[in-house]
Amino acid sequence: MKKLYALLTVTFLSISAFAQVNLQVGLIGAFPFSGNANDTSGHLQPGVVSLATLANDRFSNSNSSYDFPGFGSNIIVPYAAAMDLSEQLSVSLWINIADVSANQKLIGRCDYAFNSGFIFGIQNDSTYTEVWDATGTRTAFTCQGVVGGSWQHLAFPWKSGGYLVEYVNGLAVDSMLASVNTIGNNSDPLVIGAAPWDQSYFQVTGGIDDIHVYGRQLNAAEVYALYSFIPVAVRELNKPIYASVYPNPSGKEKVNLDLPSSEKIEFVNVTNSIGQEISVGVDANERTIDLSNQSSGMYFIKTITNAHSYISTVIVE
């Protein structure tokens, strides 16, 4: 049986600051592919499946993802008013595609005029995102980091007048300025696994699973939460751990990671509130992070040790 977990409200705690993650807010469509292509958010009609077949998901659950064989395969979700967007959008999904060099459209909605909507795809071992604003102007962004042959989580949040941010496996890869105009709307369906304007082009060959579409821009903690969800059956063994840092708030000095002394730090990633990766000084032996050159705001710290993965938040004053 597939995906016993639900979208829950998760709270990321530190000593004196918190960032709340509620993945129900702004949710337009959710497709867990649990035996069918239904939308579990309640806003959209079921997807119409063509040639794609149910397959194992990343947890080896049967009939719990869709495998797209290429030519002629797609899932089309009929247009609904809930798809209409304004200034914000986020898309999150899992893929397992062997050849990530080929141009393949994962999800999107646009027409032959190419003057509204969005497309999220991969090509040349990279994500490739296109968003058209209400004036018909296109923003296109490519970010490297996609690997073939295994399940990977991809996401992009957008905010007009703000940023388009690309994520791979819960971490922000890169970002760029977004158009100041609202996102262009149309009456076209949402297409999964092929080109939205013509399903005979750029078909996916491989697996897609757990699609979430939001009418708002997700922050770094929310994208990480979508990436890190695991089945209830194993959650007690592998649940995410939320570690504190101090001093917090920080006066732009070094902050200390409050981690077990027996664990060895192997990787540290720091992102700001819009998901941009921040370059900081890390002393793994002293377990400190130098935030002295950062501007005021909230930062998210992901720390991987030889035993666990930790998430922390810190406010720089």
Beta strand pairing call for 65-69 and 205-214: antiparallel
Q: Which domain holds residue 95?
A: 26-215
d(CA 253, CA 249): 10
Same domain, 47 and 149: yes
Give the model's confidence band at 42: pLDDT under 50 very low, under 70 low, under 90 confident, else very high.
very high
Domain count, the chain: 2
Same domain, 175 and 250: no
Phi, psi torsion values for 205, nearest 5 degrees: -120, 95
Is residue 30 within 8 A of residue 77, CB to CB? The reply is no
Same domain, 188 and 267: no
Residue 18 lies in a domain: no
CATH of the domain at 252: 2.60.40.10
The residue behind tokens 């971490």 is: 171
Same domain, 31 and 159: yes
d(CA 9, CA 166): 23
pLDDT at 36 over 90: yes
pLDDT in tens, 185-219: 999 999 999 999 999 999 999 999 999 999 999 98
Same domain, 281 and 162: no
175: CB partners within 8 A, 6+ apart: 163, 164, 165, 166, 274, 275, 276
Same domain, 166 and 270: no
d(CA 16, CA 129): 37
Residue 168 lies in a domain: yes
6: CB partners within 8 A, 6+ apart: none
Is residue 82 within 8 A of residue 44, CB to CB? The reply is yes
CATH of the domain at 94: 2.60.120.200
> Domain end: 182, 215, 248, which one?
215
Q: Is the pTM of this model over 0.75?
A: no
Joined together, the tokens standing for residue 295 give 């501007």
Residue 220 lies in a domain: no
d(CA 194, CA 108): 9
Mean pLDDT score across all residues of the chain = 85
pLDDT in tens, 78-132: 999 999 999 999 999 999 999 999 999 999 999 889 999 999 999 999 999 999 9
Tell me, what's the pLDDT at 182? Answer: 97
Same domain, 195 and 281: no
Residue 92 burial (C-beta neighbours within 10 Å; 0-12, 13-18, 19+) = buried
Amino acid sitting at position 279:
S
Residue 256 lies in a domain: yes
Residue 227 lies in a domain: no
Same domain, 119 and 195: yes
Is residue 140 within 8 A of residue 133, CB to CB? The reply is no
d(CA 19, CA 6): 20
Residue 13 lies in a domain: no
Same domain, 70 and 177: yes
Helical spans, DSSP H, in 163-273? 220-228, 232-238
The residue behind tokens 């959710």 is: 30
42: CB partners within 8 A, 6+ apart: none
d(CA 195, CA 117): 12
Residue 260 lies in a domain: yes
Same domain, 177 and 68: yes
Tell me, what's the pLDDT at 21? Answer: 64
Same domain, 266 and 124: no
- Edge-first strand listing for the sheet containing 138-144: 48-50, 74-77, 190-192, 104-109, 117-123, 126-132, 138-144
Residue 2 lies in a domain: no
Query: Does 249 sit behind a cis peptide bond, omega within 30 degrees of 0 on the bond before it?
Result: yes
Same domain, 42 and 177: yes
Q: What is the mean pLDDT of residues 238-258?
A: 73
